[in-house]
């Protein structure tokens, strides 16, 4: 497909189309690039793919997790946090994703904390034990979080009640 890989509607559509595995893999590969803008676009594209189809990136979960831990740019972190939270993970992969989300909850970026909270809620869907750990975090964010965290926490708590 060629660079710049990114979040354009055409790239996302190609990634979601039948046979889009190569495009999805190219988006993940682009995360390792030197061009900051292209890396951000790739991360945004991956987020959009995950939002459109939770399972589309499942085959690339290990690479996505690795890149999310490696990411230094806050915009890349935000987008990968959202994408990973949407994945239907189980077992060790889910445990690693939860670890990433808890790491992001301690980040100085309020948006990283907000998206990590969302990611934990997404990952806890159908997992009562994880949900029991996450709901108090969301409640605390409603009380003490940034304005974005409070707004997101309010929305998330409506979903669990």
Question: For 3-15, how does the pLDDT look when each residue is reduced to its tens digit (9 = 90+)?
Answer: 344 457 888 899 9
Residue the block writes with tokens 């939860």: 98
Residues 56 and 24 sit within 8 Å (Cβ to Cβ): yes
% residues pLDDT > 90 (the chain): 89
What Cα–Cα distance (Å) separates residue 49 from each residue in 75, 91, 157?
16, 23, 25
CA dihedral 136, 47, 125, 21 (to 10 degrees): -150
Q: In the chain, where does DSSP find H-type helix? A: 9-16, 21-30, 36-52, 61-70, 74-86, 91-105, 110-123, 128-144, 147-160
Question: For 77-135, how does the pLDDT look when each residue is reduced to its tens digit (9 = 90+)?
Answer: 999 999 999 999 999 999 999 999 999 999 999 999 999 999 999 999 999 999 999 99
| Residue 30: pLDDT over 90 | yes
The number of C-alpha atoms within 13 Å of 113 and in the hemisphere containing its C-beta is 20
| Residue 37: pLDDT over 90 | yes
Specify the pLDDT at position 109: 94
User: pTM of the prediction?
Assistant: 0.90
| Residue 39: pLDDT over 50 | yes
Largest CA distance in the chain: 47
What does pLDDT average to over the chain?
Answer: 93
% residues pLDDT > 70 (the chain): 96
């Amino acid at each position: 497909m060629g660079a710049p890989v990114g979040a354009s509607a055409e790239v996302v559509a190609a990634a979601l189309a039948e046979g889009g595995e190569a495009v999805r893999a190219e988006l993940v590969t682009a995360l390792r690039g030197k061009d900051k803008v292209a890396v951000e676009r790739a991360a945004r594209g991956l987020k959009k793919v995950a939002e459109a189809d939770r399972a589309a990136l499942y085959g690339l979960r290990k690479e996505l997790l690795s890149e999310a831990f490696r990411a230094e740019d806050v915009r890349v972190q935000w987008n990968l946090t959202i994408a990973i939270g949407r994945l239907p993970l189980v077992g060790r992969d889910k445990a690693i994703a939860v670890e990433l989300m808890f790491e992001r909850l301690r980040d100085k970026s309020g948006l990283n904390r907000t998206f990590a909270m969302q990611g934990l809620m997404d990952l806890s869907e159908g997992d009562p034990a994880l949900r029991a750990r996450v709901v108090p975090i969301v409640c605390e964010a409603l009380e003490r979080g940034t304005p974005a965290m409070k707004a997101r926490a309010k929305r998330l708590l409506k979903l669990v009640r």
